[in-house]
């Protein structure tokens, strides 16, 4: 017997609170979107369409839980237990309908709704090595917050973490001609979080270019492109990204995410690549109608994998690519080990004193891989190239950074 998905009325009853003086349910835009998706789900008669709506329900519910944890004024934390129970129900039904085990569900969601880098992006980032991949800590300063339908940003240009109403003013001359005037490059993560900031090209092998791929170190995104924000009001969005080349379904997910966080859809202009501009309200209505008719589907939402293209095999490919990107972000750490492990007469403390060195101990998870690289290098430690090395162990916390969580929450 498949896990039962509650109706809108059942979900509303479970998340209703009596005698609430603040954060009324009607003002919770994420819950409102979940209500609408539940109506669409129960009206759907085609399994493919139901699967897509389950995925969208998961993404919306996951975003609600993360927003709740951050203390949003629009969200009442007393609803968390009921929303989390619903979240687990959606996860259970997704695993049943897709046949994908829960530990690989993030990969299915990424393949179905997300967009990985195209050939151009891979060439720029992994071959020409001209992209600046930001650490999670550095990328965080470019993450937008939403409240009352307005977007807020940190004053990253002043290295100030105070949030103000966002404006996509081009603050660096290197952006001229790269991003449309009045716009900024943006990406929205699989977890429904928007990042926006400076955008410019970089030279070969200097890793100083700021691209759509910079924020998540080349990981897949829900969508990417250009966005115009004036005094916190999101006015226009498109899917113009050379690195990711997202399609209309990806742009739809970005627009739906803006709707979920309360952006005014009537005032928003959506400009799909190669198609006429339209309001966010009309754009969402068009796709919601397609979803209700079972027409709007995603190419990768496969109930049965093709031979040699199983979730596990795709997971292995994604892990390999992730290892390559992680190696690049760990380049400075490998460089520290290389410098420290050299003999004293070459400025280091030698391999034997690594246990006594605080910096080396902090990088112990890279020791095994560094030792293997030195052993395999014809010229020993002098010819080891830290930027080219693959890490021995992938850090799960880093791998899931800025993404969604399927495992039970604490």
> Quick one: pLDDT band at residue 205, thresholds 50, 70, 90?
low
Instruction: Please state the rounded mean pLDDT for residues 384-391.
Output: 60
- Determine the 3-state secondary structure of 371 from DSSP: helix
Q: pLDDT tens, 46-98? A: 777 788 889 889 999 999 998 888 888 888 889 999 999 999 999 999 989 88
Is the pTM of the predicted complex or chain greater than 0.75?
A: no
Q: How many helices (H) and strands (E) does the chain have?
A: 14, 9
> Quick one: pLDDT band at residue 109, thresholds 50, 70, 90?
confident
Q: Is the pLDDT of residue 295 over 60?
A: no
Domain assignments of the chain as residue spans, ordered by start: 8-112, 115-293, 330-392
Question: What is the structure's pLDDT at 22?
Answer: 55
Please give the helix or strand (H or E) that residue 165 lies within, else none.
Answer: strand 160-165
Question: What is the structure's pLDDT at 341?
Answer: 93
C-alpha to C-alpha distance for 199 and 179, rounded to whole angstroms: 7
Q: pLDDT tens, 257-268? A: 999 888 999 999
Q: Is the pLDDT of residue 312 over 60?
A: no
Question: What's the first-to-final CA gap in the chain, in angstroms?
Answer: 28
Q: Is the pLDDT of residue 320 over 80?
A: no
* Least reliable range by pLDDT among 115-124, 159-168, 175-184, 286-295: 286-295
Question: What is the structure's pLDDT at 73?
Answer: 82
Long-range contacts from 310-319, C-beta under 8 angstroms, 24+ separation: 311/100, 311/101, 311/104, 311/107, 311/108, 312/104, 314/107, 314/111, 315/104, 315/107, 318/107, 318/110, 319/394
Q: Is the pLDDT of residue 317 over 70?
A: no
CA distances from residue 104 to 5, 21, 87, 94, 322 in whole angstroms, order as listed: 21, 41, 17, 11, 15
Instruction: Please state the rounded mean pLDDT for residues 87-116.
Output: 86
Q: Could you say which DSSP state residue 109 is in?
A: H
CA distances from residue 406 to 87, 188, 274 in whole angstroms, order as listed: 9, 19, 36
Q: Is the pLDDT of residue 281 over 70?
A: yes
* Nearest CA-CA partner of 185 in 254, 126, 124, 248: 254
Q: Could you say which DSSP state residue 125 is in?
A: I
> Quick one: pLDDT band at residue 397, thresholds 50, 70, 90?
very low
- Which residues have a Cβ under 8 Å from the Cβ of 322 and sit 6 or more positions away? 219, 394, 399
Q: Is the pLDDT of residue 314 over 70?
A: no
By percentage, how much of the chain surpasses pLDDT 90? 31
Question: What is the structure's pLDDT at 185?
Answer: 92
C-alpha to C-alpha distance for 143 and 163, rounded to whole angstroms: 10
Average pLDDT, the chain: 80
The phi, psi pair for 67, rounded to 5°, reads: -65, -40
- Which residues have a Cβ under 8 Å from the Cβ of 180 and sit 6 or more positions away? 226, 240
Question: What is the structure's pLDDT at 388?
Answer: 56
The single residue listed with the structure tokens 């113009």 is 240
Question: What is the structure's pLDDT at 394?
Answer: 35
Question: What is the structure's pLDDT at 116?
Answer: 83
Instruction: Please state the rounded mean pLDDT for residues 175-198.
Output: 86
Vertex 194: Cα angle to 193 and 200 (nearest 5): 140
């Amino acid at each position: 017997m498949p896990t039962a998905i509650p109706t809108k009325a059942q979900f509303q009853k479970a998340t209703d609170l009596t005698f609430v003086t603040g954060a009324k349910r009607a003002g919770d835009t994420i819950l409102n979107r979940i209500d609408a998706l539940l109506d669409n789900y129960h009206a759907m008669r085609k399994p493919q369409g139901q699967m897509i709506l389950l995925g969208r329900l998961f993404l919306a519910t996951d975003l609600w839980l993360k927003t709740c944890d951050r203390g949003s004024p629009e969200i009442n934390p007393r609803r968390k237990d009921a929303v989390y129970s619903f979240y687990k129900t959606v996860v259970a039904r997704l695993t049943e309908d897709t046949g994908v085990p829960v530990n690989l569900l993030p990969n299915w969601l990424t393949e179905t709704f997300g967009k990985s880098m195209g050939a151009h992006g891979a060439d720029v980032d992994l071959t020409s090595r001209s992209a600046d991949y930001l650490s999670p800590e550095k990328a965080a300063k470019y993450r937008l917050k939403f409240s009352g339908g307005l977007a807020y940003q940190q004053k990253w240009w002043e290295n100030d973490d105070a949030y103000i109403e966002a404006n996509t003013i081009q603050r660096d001359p290197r952006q001229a001609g790269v991003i449309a005037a009045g716009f900024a490059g943006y990406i929205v993560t699989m977890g429904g979080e928007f990042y926006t900031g400076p955008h410019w090209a970089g030279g070969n092998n200097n890793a100083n270019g700021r691209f759509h791929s910079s924020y998540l170190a080349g990981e897949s995104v829900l969508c990417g492109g250009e966005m115009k924000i004036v005094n916190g009001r999101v006015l226009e969005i498109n899917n113009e990204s050379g690195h990711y080349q997202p399609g209309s379904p990806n742009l739809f997910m970005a627009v739906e995410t803006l709707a979920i966080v309360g952006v005014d859809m009537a005032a928003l202009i959506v400009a799909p690549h190669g198609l006429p501009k339209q309001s966010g309200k009309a754009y969402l209505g068009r796709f919601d109608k397609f979803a209700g008719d079972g027409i709007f589907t995603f190419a990768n939402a496969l109930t049965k994998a093709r031979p040699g293209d199983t979730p596990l095999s795709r997971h292995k490919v994604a892990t390999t690519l992730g290892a390559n990107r992680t190696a690049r972000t760990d380049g400075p750490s490998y460089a520290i080990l290389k410098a420290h492990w050299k003999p004293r007469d070459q400025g280091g403390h030698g391999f034997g004193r690594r246990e006594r060195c605080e910096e080396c101990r902090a990088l112990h998870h890279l020791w095994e891989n560094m030792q293997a690289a030195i052993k395999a290098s014809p010229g020993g430690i002098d010819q080891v190239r830290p930027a080219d090395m693959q890490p021995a162990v992938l850090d799960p916390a880093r791998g899931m950074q800025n993404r969604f969580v399927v495992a039970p929450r604490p």
